[in-house]
């Protein structure tokens, strides 16, 4: 495991915090309007999804990195049976230069219990305990493990669990829900709506007929295309960025 001296502790912690925040689509605070019943997870242990992440603008499309999503296990967290969701961002095909995060969501209604974020370089780990509103930062130094604990907003949901939560919604009915995005300037309302019309989406993994989910935010609208199949695959995600957008395109998938 790579080590660092004590003087680099703060820099390393700030770096992994920055990566963790920017790598997630958004962090959102659960709202009472959300329907917590009638959720049927369309996935199980063994599912694997691989995405190419690209930057798109008026000049063309540019490959950035790959994203692996998978359902790797079931585990009991605080007395509740949970799916273990795993996400890994891989830069330039190098698995030694990546960010890995895990979301633990209940198998019945996909409630988020715990989030773990770590880098494959092994310098630091973040543990979010959503039920108790605590974040623990563990940095590995030459002097040993340095730990810091912070309070967080209770009942926070990370973007990986949000993506899987949206897959479990009854998308064939007229449905909407809201979230609050946590930004540097405070909370920003996000509204999620499902289009009445299905869309045809072609990616490397194939052609799919999809539900179009619009996530309206202050900087623009994010679109998530979920296949009209029993697996409800997240086929494509369009995220607005400066002068363009980031596109997640499903490259390959393995169903459980």
pTM for the full model? 0.80
Residue 6 has what DSSP assignment? Answer: G
Q: What b/e string do you get for 136-147 counting C-beta neighbours within 10 Å, with b at 16 or more?
A: ebbbbbeeeebe
Strand partners, 69: 49, 87
Q: What residues does each domain of the chain span?
A: 6-254
Within 13 Å, how many C-alpha atoms sit on residue 105's CB side?
29
pLDDT at 21: 47
CATH of domain 6-254: 2.40.360
pLDDT at 153: 66
CA dihedral 222, 168, 89, 146 (to 10 degrees): 110
Residues 124 and 4: beta-carbon distance below 8 Å:
no
Radius of gyration of the chain (CA): 18
Residues whose CB falls within 8 Å of the CB of residue 169, separated by 6 or more in sequence, listed in order: 35, 39, 175, 177, 194
Residue-by-residue pLDDT tens, the chain, 256 positions: 333 444 454 445 445 444 444 444 444 544 444 444 567 899 999 999 999 999 999 899 899 889 999 999 999 999 999 999 999 988 765 555 577 889 999 998 888 888 888 876 667 788 878 778 788 888 877 778 888 888 776 556 677 888 898 898 888 765 566 655 544 445 556 677 888 899 999 999 999 999 999 887 666 788 999 999 999 999 999 988 888 888 999 999 999 8
């Amino acid at each position: 495991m790579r080590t660092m001296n004590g003087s680099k502790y703060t820099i390393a912690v700030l770096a992994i915090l920055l990566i963790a925040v920017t790598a997630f689509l958004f962090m959102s605070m659960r709202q009472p309007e959300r329907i917590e019943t009638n959720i049927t997870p369309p996935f199980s242990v063994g599912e694997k999804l691989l995405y190419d992440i690209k930057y798109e603008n008026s000049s063309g499309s540019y490959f950035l990195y790959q994203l692996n999503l998978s359902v790797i296990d079931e585990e009991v967290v605080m007395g509740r049976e949970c799916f273990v969701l795993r996400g890994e961002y891989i830069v330039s095909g190098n698995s030694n230069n990546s960010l890995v995060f895990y979301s633990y969501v209940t198998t019945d209604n996909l409630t988020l219990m715990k989030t773990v974020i770590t880098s494959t370089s092994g310098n630091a780990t973040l543990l979010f305990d959503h039920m108790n509103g605590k974040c623990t930062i563990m940095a590995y130094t030459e002097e040993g493990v340095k730990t810091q604990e912070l309070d967080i907003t209770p009942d926070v949901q990370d973007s990986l669990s949000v993506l899987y939560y949206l897959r479990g919604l009854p998308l064939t009915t007229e449905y909407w829900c809201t979230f609050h995005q946590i930004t540097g300037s405070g909370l920003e309302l996000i509204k999620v709506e499902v289009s009445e019309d299905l869309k045809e989406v072609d990616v490397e993994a194939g052609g799919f007929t999809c539900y179009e989910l619009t996530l309206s935010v202050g900087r623009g609208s994010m679109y998530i295309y979920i296949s009209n199949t029993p697996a409800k695959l997240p086929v494509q995600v369009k995220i607005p960025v400066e002068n363009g957008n980031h596109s997640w395109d499903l490259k390959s998938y393995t169903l459980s």
